[in-house]
A = this chain, B = another copy of it.
Amino acid sequence: MTTTKTIAELSCPAPLPAKDTILLGHGSGGKLSNELVRDIFLPALRNPALARLDDQAIVKIGNQRLAFTTDSFVVKPLFFAGGDIGSLAVHGTVNDLAMGGAMPLFLSAAFIIEEGFSIGELRRVVDSLHRAASAAGVEVVTGDTKVVEKGKGDGLFITTTGIGVVPDGVDLSASHACPGDKVLLSGSIGEHGIAILAQRTGLEFETEIQSDSAALHTLVADMLAVRREIRCMRDPTRGGVSSTLNEIAQQSHVSIELEEQSIPIREEVRGACELLGLDPLYVANEGKLIAIVAAESAGKVLQAMRNHPLGIAAQIIGTVGKEHAGLVTMRTPLGTTRVVDMLAGDQLPRIC
């Protein structure tokens, strides 16, 4: 399955399913998620912080700008190559703070546990959550536990919420991309999604594919140290690189053109995607970031990324344009251009 389309096809989009009930795709991070936010949440809750549609709210308390973000984790299976729901819940929330340029400080963790869940597994998850938090230099300072009857949950769901401080002069938003800016990607894509899927389907590859789950805030700090005026950062999780770039293109009213050959993809991930019929541009990452940077700063920021262990394979993968606002396209090695649309359905439910 691929969800990329030619420009011609775009004028006649495929019909979406009936809209009176929630579909798995509403949680995919793609088109349906986007619609749900715009149709239900934004109109009801309308306020400027939420309307920015970034991965975190920036709120002012006293003279401090704080980043504030929340994510529920429903990943399946709970334990996977390269991580588990505990470490993922820390990395995901730390990264959403970091994408706002914030230094993460405090987390909360709320557990919804299904009756009958193993206390031993709970202990493993909580230990892993703690290790990930300690490694990232954040403290889990408050929490909650609820239990639902057997059959009314699925083992364990965790919701983590984070607070961080945004340094002066930093103002990152998906609405700040400008024509001429460069698109930077911190490393190879698709590893988290493929690691989960391999585990779920029992597929085995010659080399085990591990989730890239990692906390990106020190990478972000290094990038901001060389150029405080970076326009935007986003971690391409659910919905992958394509959905993230479509959101940026929409919110900034710009187009984005990618160079296919500059997008780093590890061989084993490319192979697994071919086998499974997936387009790696739509597969989730949990330890990668996309940055939109003014052209004149791109080289310096790229160098700062490559100097950090989590950005060694960083690349400039594209350019922001002016025409066709909202459109993301990709130039293939053959010189043709295809449209890279937002994820339409539910390529991989419960990836995070």
Contact = CB atoms under 8 A, between A and B. Distances in A.
A130 interface: yes
A239 interface: no
A62 B166 CA distance: 12
A167 B316 CA distance: 48
Given A61-B105, A149-B349, A69 B142 contact: yes
B59 A62 contact: no
A116 to B, nearest CB: 5
Contact of A115 (B24, B64, B133, B140): B24
A126 B59 contact: no
Given A64-B62, A153-B154, A139 B70 contact: no
A24 to B, nearest CB: 5
Interface string A90-114: 0000000000000001101111111
A157 B112 contact: yes
9 contacts: A22-B113, A22-B117, A22-B122, A27-B145, A45-B133, A47-B141, A110-B159, A112-B159, A163-B163
Contact of A37 (B41, B139, B145, B153): B145
A276 interface: no
A231 interface: no
Interface stretch (A49-57, A213-221, A300-308): A49-57
Contact of A165 (B19, B24, B61): B61
Interface in A107-148: 108-120, 122-123, 126-127, 129-130, 133, 139-148
B68 A24 contact: no
Q: Which one of A47, A59, A74, A146 has the highest number of Cβ atoms from chain B below 10 Å of its Cβ?
A: A146
A57 B113 contact: no
Contact of A59 (B27, B106, B133, B159): B106
A159 B117 CA distance: 20
A148 B350 contact: yes
Interface in A21-71: 21-28, 33, 36-37, 40-41, 44-45, 47, 49-50, 56-57, 59, 61-64, 66, 68-71
